[in-house]
Structure 1
Amino acid sequence: ELKNTSGLLYPPEAPELQIRKMADLCFLVQHYELAYSCYHTAKKDFLNDQAMLYAAGALEMAAVSAFLQPGAPRPYPAHYMETAIQTYRDICKNMVLAERCVLLSAEILKSQSKYSEAAALLIRLTSEDSDLRSALLLEQAAHCFINMKSPMVRKFAFHMILAGHRFSKAGQKKHALRCYCQAMQVYKGKGWSLAEDHINFTIGRQSFTLRQLDNAVSAFRHILINDSKQPPAQQGAFLREYLYVYKNVTQLSPDGPLPQLPLPYINSAATRVFFGHDRRPAEGEKQAATHVSLDQEYDSESSQQWKELEEQVVSAINKGIIPSNFQPTQFCLNRYSDNSRFPLAVIEEPITVEVSFRNPLKVPLLLTDLSLLWKFQPKDLSAKHDGETKELGMCDDDMIGTEAIAEFLINSEETKVARLKLFPHQTGELHILGVVYNLGTVQGAVTLDGIHSSVGLQTGKFVSNGLSVRGRQDLEIQGPRLNNTKEEKTSIKYGPDRRLDPIITEEMPLLEVFFINFPTGLLCGEIRKAYVEFVNVSKCPLTALRVVSKHPGFFTFGGNTAVLTPLSPSASENCSAYKTVVTDPTSVRTALLSSASSVDFGVGTGGQPEVIHVPLPDAVLLPGASVQLPMWLRGPDEEGVHEINFLFYYESIKRHSKMCHRVLRHTAVICTSRSLHVRATVCRSNALEDEEGTGDNMLVFVDVENINTSETGVKEFHIVQVSSNSKHWKLQKSVNVSEDKDTKLASRERAKLCFKAVRCKNSEGSTFSFYPLENYTFADIVFGNEQIISSASPCADFFFQSLSSEFKRTHVQSHPHASQRAVKQPLDEAVRLIQRCSEVDLNIVVLWKAYVVEDNKQLILEGQHHVTLNTVGKEAFSFPQKQELPEMVLLKFFRPENTPVPARPTPEQLSNLIKTSLHYPESFNHSFHQKSLCLVPVTLLLSNCSQAVVDVMIDLRHKTTSPEALDIHGSFTWLGQTQYKLQLKSQEVCSLQLKACFVHTGVYNLGTPRVFAKLVDQVTLFETSQQNSMPALIIINNI
């Protein structure tokens, strides 16, 4: 029997209970309307009697009866339920009845889609008395929020977290884990890192308690890989929890595969692979070749230059053809290099893999026993079998030696690279899979006042907290996106990246290069002698050593005619870089002749001048052997800082199918400062005959200026020799007025030199040949006491190299459109003969010495400048002049003509067919008192400079007949025939006897005859006025 709150009991026959029983019978037979009326009546009676427990029950049943009435004549009285709940809870202190009432009312409200009211009702009943009841109610309230018309997702997640917390307090681990996992679905990926960390940590804890170790590991993993905003202490706690859980997981299956570790982050795309040994440091005065190292930054432009150099030397070796299987050598592979092919590595040479690690946490990470993970397929195995695939480098060091890093510390939020090495001992296919290591933390690694307590980084010894796990991380590199075909452009496809899949090839030679006494600063044109040491550090001999450079004029190893120079740097300290011969200082400045072939210096063989053969003894460098060779350097003609790339090419004596050759790179940085500026011109001499009467000579004017600044310590320059080299012309003697034996030039001083040049003799020596000889003729005019043999190394080497580069430069400038020019007709033979008259093809070499004061010591520097004279009357310079930009012109559109325009010589070329010279007395005495007219005999000599027959017309008349013009010519006239027409054969010399008539004393210019010439049988070419000689002055005296 139930008692009311006042302790009174209703007897069984009490009318209030009878009404309540009738209401219950009506409810049972589903007469809900009558039941509602009876419950409502009983409720009033119970309230009048203050029987609150009976009243609350009547209210509860009345509300249910109203809800169950068909057709819903009246709304659901939710306030009845609220009053009943409040009565059960507050007055009757009966929580069980209150819970029943709440759950019943909540279901009624949810059936009416009143989820908000239902959630509020459920939340109100939660309390600290019972964790299990509160957890159940909170979970139901959360489901109310998610089932609303506009779902309140965050409220659902929040109340699920609260429900999970109360389940956890009640000891219901599974229910707590379920609630947290459902809430995690909402918070995941929203950037609420702190909330995610809390949920994952709780999930990990609960999963570990329930022995769901995989779920625990996954939860802790998410805590560590997210960009956490937790303080360092909290992150350290998370990490220790993770390591503890992970260790338990690994202990369950110790023989299973290594698990994937989440820390530290690995930037796989930044992985670099280097093939070969590390560069040896400099030893004393020896400077090792720079080659390639992982410390150098990648430069796409520089990489392309090295590739072009390698293609150049391979093409030269293979007679101008690049093999189809040619693969450019790549020492260092990264994200920018071409990784579409399998790289080649050499057996017994290390493979270094640089892996970039990043620690996202605010606590340091300690990696121990860090090494590479690989699998290897030996070359002699035809088919792949699982049993013959070796994984984990520490399993079999007989195939691949693996280097491990004992300790590798990564500080908080630090990015650090580790360089791991493999040493292949067999040929085959190597696949680098990833890295394997022990992950742990440093004991007491907490930052205090901004100073890290683990400052013992340099000692290499770190105290671990004893908690570490063994795991791996794979290196997965995505190749470049393909963008060539239409299909690739419209879809997302990536190409292969094979930088981690090298092929181990057979043994190859390995070259090391050292430079001795190699300068860092030079004067422009300065010649310096250095030495290069080649060392074969492998176990097989090397051959076919070549060196290629974009600047072949910077260095030379000497030609086939090179003199025996001191073989050691110490023996050559005070020696000249040139081959010299002592001369008689009292001798006249005439040329000392010699000859040399361009083939002796590697030019003219049809190969590429940039590819230079290195003269090894017997053309082979044996294993472990070294050789020192002299190397002459010449400072570039332009001042500034120059980066000069050397590519050394060599091969093995054995021919391999995979790797045919190897290369070694070196970049030299040279700073050049200004020295001399040489300009030269050539013109025809007035004298038609030389001393031997062969009848063809020229004058060469050389202008040398000292443009050096005093900052470099150069005291003065001495011009010690001027040499010429050509197949056509040679210097014969110096015609300078000054008798000074040595030409000294201080700063900004200029010297003007004049030389006489004659044609080279042919092999018989009797007549000169208009066509070039086989060998170059070298003529040396010495200004000092020592003759420098210009036809020997290194003078001739640099001359021939400058000759080839000058030819290359002028060829490109003069023939910019070779493809368009290929369809034109060849030059007419007559036009070619006319052009040949203006060509000289004479090369001038100015050799000098510079006296430099450095550290109170006087040094003597040597050097040479080259000037190439191609055309009569055209000035040439020792270094190319800057081209002025053409002015903007209007764009013109025209239709190209199909008929090729015939080539025509320029007027300047046409004016060099005939050379004229007047022979007359410089002074003539005449008595004008006895005879008023003074007649002077004059001889006009005409020489045909071409190889064709030429029609010549001489006009003695003055250009104008005005009185003013007569005054200009000094009132003299030519007597006799005023016009002559002649025909001169090739190289023919003709003389005309003329008479000049004077009426007064004075100085007169006889150079008034005009000479016109054209080739015979050339109708299209007009007669062209020839270049006049120098002014011909005569003095007429009266006696």
Structure 2
Amino acid sequence: CGLWWAEMLKAGDQYKEAASAYFRICGEEPLHAAVMLEQASYCFVLTKPAMLNKYGFHLVLSGDHYKNSDQVSHAIRTYRSAISVYESTTWSHIKDHVHFHIGRWYALVGMHDVAVRNMLKVLDCGNQSKATQEIFLRDFFEIVKKTGMKHEVVGLQLPFINMSSLQVIYEDHRTYASQASVLVQESIWQSLEDDIIPSLNSGKSNWLELQSKLLPKKYKESNVCVAGESVKVDLEFRNPLLISTSITNVSLICELTSNSDDLKVDKHPSSISLGTESSAEHNQGTTSGFSSFTLSEVDLTLGGGEKKLVRLTVTPSEEGILKIVGVRWRLSGSVVGVHYFQSAPGKAKTNKGRRKNKLTPTDALKFLVIKSLPRLLGSIDHLPEKLYAGDLRYLVLELKNKSEFPIKNLKMKISHPRFVNPGNHEEEVTTEFPDCLKKGHEQNFVKSETSSVFSFPKDVSLQGDKSLRWPLWLRAAIPGTISLYFTIYYEMENVSSIMKYRTLRMHYNLKVLPSLETSFEITPSPSKLQECLVRMDILNRANSDSFQIHQLSTVGCRWGISLLERVDTILPSKSLLPGQALSCHFMIKDNRRSATEEEKTMSIPPSQTDVKLFAQDDDEKLFDIVNSPLASFHESE
């Protein structure tokens, strides 16, 4: 009777009422209820306008009843029909429910490949509860394991890859001593290198213009890297789930072709697809028998909602065209995720400031690989991270070139000559520092060059295991956080027609703490024109350390000093404690005479330009401020 009534309503185009009739005659028997619910769903889609939400909902109910009746094929059929309703909606919970159960039911009928394809669509289920996510992931891995094969998934959303974080770091003419040097703005390095980089013809050129003149015409817009040196890619991975996820074997997908004409950008699918060998085929060089590049692999564990920035590298071993195609990773051993960079807004770190024509997104990931070149390695020994204002340190710059090809014509420029002054190779500190700076020690400290560019001796050449150790003097001129930048230029002979020179960039941060603060009050002598009375106030600004005041000196030979107080009364405690202040009075005398030229050039005896401020051993030597390195720093003030 119920069926007859429903058919009568359908014949009269009363589909909504017919759907209600089918719903009322659903019995307790699951198979009968499944058929009636399915018929009701078709009535809802035939109404005008179509009631699509009710259509999809009744199909899902029908599929559940089919499954309870062991009619798995019919359950899959009704659920698949329901997908068309929910695919374009934001109802993520019902979409995940439908795809998950279709995957499970396909696995029951032995169609594991199709089951995996449907289960993949629920892996990015961050909107679900933690318990539901654990069920989804557990069943997915069980189904994958039953297939007995590894699946490669293009567009796998676990983990999520933040393409806006993509950054490419490589070295061409410019090489870097540390990661801190890479992060420095390119404009800072260029301002240092303006006086070092050579020019072509008569006009002055920077390294960018030089490269465009040296490169073949069709490679003028290419990034250049060197065989044997790594290209680094930074990329952020995010776990969209609330549960921890383990990701292994994360590596880049690359191509290296020796055929220079093969410059076409590969096209890769952007939608989810399955395969077993596709990305592996990319990571093969054109040379048979061995790989033409080396890839790094990274393993990481992402907690719920956690983000991590991962650095991946590729090191080409031969010349050609290198293309970074994408990234691949392994999920639970059996699933290989693949993400292609065809739409990546790549940011090449060393290209900052370069004026190019319109680049395709893959241009930042394509490189012209040239033959192996010498690469200078540099470090500074004993460089402190923290020191007090006025502190003077003896440092050593160590340079190495492990290549068999020599480098020559080394030059160096330092951003802060007030802080760092290069010594001379003849300087060999035979006495323990700081005693080597005192008068009476026969140290061969030659006054440094006044030019902003320091040129190493012409006979300096580095190759193989040979290293160069060069003295540096560091003086903390002012308190604060100071950034020191070093650029070292060097040339290579008969190695490459594209790169004739390279630069090594070094960056260090120093934290300079306040120490002694001085102030002076100068009063002209009422009786002698060449003399002045000076009051010197000193305050210890340090938070915890005390200082001993050793001597008072004048720069140059013009002024002589005469103390007006006994030394033991100036600072009886011999140390100036934190926050403590002292005052000292003395006379200064102008020793210049407007007489003969010979008298003008006479040096004042040391006793008049240097005065002890301590009452200790009379044999204690005073520091020599007339010669390098102290004199060089005074000239920089």
**Do these two structures clear the TM 0.5 threshold for a shared fold by scoring above it?**
yes
* Contact preservation (8 Å) 2:520, 2:535: yes
Return the alpha-carbon distance in structure 2 between the equivalents of residues 661 and 777 of structure 1: 48
Q: 1:643 aligns with which of 469, 482, 488?
A: 482
* 1:829 paired residue number: none
Alignment deviations for residues 686-718 of structure 1 (CA, whole Å, 9 cap, x no partner): 99xxxxxxxxx9656655432335843213342
Structure 1 pair 239–419 and aligned structure 2 pair: CA distance change class (3 A):
same
| Aligned 8 A contact 2:163 2:235 in 1 | yes
Q: Does structure 2 conserve the Cα–Cα contact (< 8 Å) formed by 1:373 and 1:435?
A: yes
Structure 1: stretches of 5+ with no match in the other structure: 1-84, 86-97, 277-288, 329-339, 441-466, 482-492, 583-595, 688-696, 725-729, 769-775, 803-1039
Secondary structure class of the residue paired with 1:623: coil
The answer for the alignment partner of 1:374 in structure 2 is 254
Q: Write the letter of the residue equivalent to 1:292.
A: S
SS at match of 1:473: strand
Partner of 1:108: 11
> Residues 397 and 243 (structure 1 numbering): CA distance in 2 closer, same or farther, change over 3 Å?
farther
Task: State how 1:65-464 maps to structure 2 within 5 Å.
Answer: 85=1, 99=3, 101-110=4-13, 114-129=14-29, 131=31, 134-149=33-48, 151-168=50-67, 175-188=74-87, 190-207=89-106, 215-232=114-131, 234-243=132-141, 261-275=156-170, 291-293=177-179, 303-304=184-185, 307-318=187-198, 321-323=204-206, 325=208, 343-378=223-258, 381-383=260-262, 391-393=282-284, 397-405=290-298, 408-440=300-332
Find the aligned partners of 1:151 and 1:274 in 2 and give their Cα distance. 56
- Once the two structures are overlaid, the 10-residue window that deviates more, 678-687 or 520-529, is 678-687
Residues 497 and 398 from structure 1, CA distance in 2 versus in 1: closer, same or farther, beyond 3 angstroms?
closer
Pair 430,545 (structure 1): closer, same or farther in 2 beyond 3 Å: same
Between the aligned partners of 2:128 and 2:160, the Cα distance in structure 1 is 17
CA–CA separation in structure 1 for the residues paired with 2:29 and 2:564: 124
Could you tell me how far 1:246 is from its partner in structure 2? 5.1
CA contact (8 A) 2:324 2:365 kept: yes
Specify the code of the residue in structure 2 equivalent to 1:798. F
Match for residue 555 of structure 2 among 715, 719, 723: 723
Query: Relative to 1, partners in 2 of residues 1:391 and 1:120: Cα closer, same or farther, differing over 3 Å?
Result: closer
Alignment of 1:789-808 (within 5 A): 792-802=627-637
Instruction: Give distance in 2, aligned partners of 1:707 and 1:546.
Output: 41
How do 1:584-623 and structure 2 match up within 5 A? 601-603=448-450, 609=452, 611-613=453-455, 615=456, 618-623=459-464
Aligned residue pairs, count: 573
CA distance 1:789–1:360, shift in 2 (3 Å): closer
Partner residue in 2 for 1:25: none
After superposition, the Cα gap between the structure-2 partners of 1:617 and 1:501, relative to the gap in structure 1 and judged at 3 Å, is same
Q: Tell me whether 1:756 sits opposite 2:590 in the alignment.
A: yes
Query: Shift of residue 349 of structure 1?
Result: 2.7
Q: Distance in 2 between matches of 1:413 and 1:144?
A: 43
Which of 536, 548, 559 in structure 1 is aligned with 2:401?
536
Which of structures 1 and 2 has the bigger CA Rg? 1
Instruction: Give the secondary-structure state (helix, strand or coil) at the position aligned to 1:155.
Output: helix
Partner SS for 1:325: helix
Aligned-pair identity (%): 21
- How many Å separate the matches in 1 of 2:242 and 2:565? 84
Structure-2 change in CA distance of 1:350 and 1:787 (3 Å):
same
Instruction: Label 1:141 to 1:419 Cα distance change in 2 as closer, same or farther (>3 A).
Output: same
Q: Which amino acid aligns with 2:325?
A: L
| Counterpart AA for 2:437 | A
Asked if 2 retains the 8 angstrom alpha-carbon contact of 1:268 and 1:476, the reply is: no
CA contact (8 A) 2:161 2:238 kept: yes
Q: 1:361 to 1:739 in 2, by over 3 A?
A: closer
CA–CA distance in 2 between the matches of 1:155 and 1:126? 16
Q: 1:130 to 1:656 in 2, by over 3 A?
A: closer
Residue 713 of structure 1 corresponds to which residue in structure 2?
A: 546
Moved more, 360-369 or 427-436: 360-369
Task: Give 2:377's match in structure 1, choosing from 512, 521, 532.
Answer: 512
The partner residue of 1:634 within 456, 462, 475 is 475
Greater RCO between the two (CA within 8 Å, min separation 6)? Answer: 2
Report the Cα distance in structure 1 between the residues aligned to 2:569 and 2:342, rounded to whole angstroms. Answer: 71
Distance in 2, matches of 1:777 and 1:558, equals: 28
Preserved CA contact (<8 Å) 1:649 1:663: yes
Distance 1:344 1:512 in 2: 20
Q: Is the 8 A contact 1:430 1:503 kept in 2?
A: yes
AA partner of residue 708 (structure 1): N
**In the alignment, is the contact (CA less than 8 A) between 1:359 and 1:413 conserved in 2?**
yes
Give the equivalent residue in structure 2 for 1:566.
Answer: 428
| 3-state SS of paired residue (1:222) | helix
CA contact (8 A) 1:743 1:783 kept: no
Q: How does 1:675-694 map to 2 (within 5 A)?
A: 675=516, 677=518, 679=520
Paired residue for 2:274? none
Shift in alpha-carbon separation, 1:109–1:213, aligned structure 2, 3 A: farther
Aligned-residue offset at 1:409: 4.3
**Distance apart, 1:137 and its partner CA:** 3.1
* Matched letter for residue 432 of structure 2: S
Q: Secondary structure of the equivalent of 1:792?
A: coil
8 Å contact kept, 1:685–1:698: no
Task: Say what the alpha-carbon RMSD is for the aligned residues.
Answer: 4.6
Structure 2 SS opposite 1:374: strand
- Looking at structure 2, the residues matched to 477 and 541 of structure 1 have their Cα atoms a distance apart, in angstroms, of 42
Quote how far apart the aligned CAs of 1:576 are. 3.0
Indicate conservation of the 8 Å contact 2:44/2:51, yes or no.
Answer: yes
Amino acid at match of 2:483: I
CA displacement, residues 182-222 of structure 1 (integer Å, 9 cap, x when unaligned): 32233335444332222112323455567776654432111
**TM-score normalised according to structure 2 size:** 0.74
Give yes or no for contact 1:393–1:401 (8 Å, CA) kept in 2.
no
Per-residue CA shift, 1:841-860, capped at 9, x if unaligned? Answer: xxxxxxxxxxxxxxxxxxxx
Matched residue of 2:486: which SS? strand
Q: Assess, with a 3 A threshold, how the Cα gap between structure 1 residues 311 and 341 changes in structure 2: closer, same or farther.
A: farther
Which digits, 9 at most, give the CA deviation of each residue in 1:819-855, with x for residues without a partner? xxxxxxxxxxxxxxxxxxxxxxxxxxxxxxxxxxxxx
> Residue by residue, what CA displacement relative to the aligned partner does 1:246-285 show, whole Å, maximum 9, x if unpaired?
567795xx9x987554433222332444548xxxxxxxxx
> Conserved in 1, the CA contact under 8 Å of 2:384 and 2:510?
no
Give the superposition deviation at 1:400. 0.4
1:982-1024 Cα distance to aligned partner (Å, 9 max, x none): xxxxxxxxxxxxxxxxxxxxxxxxxxxxxxxxxxxxxxxxxxx
Judged with a 3 Å threshold, the aligned counterparts in structure 2 of structure 1 residues 714 and 260 are, in CA distance, closer, same or farther, namely: closer
| 1:155 to 1:783, Cα distance in 2 relative to 1, 3 A | closer
Shift of 1:143: 2.9
Q: Match for 1:126: what amino acid?
A: C
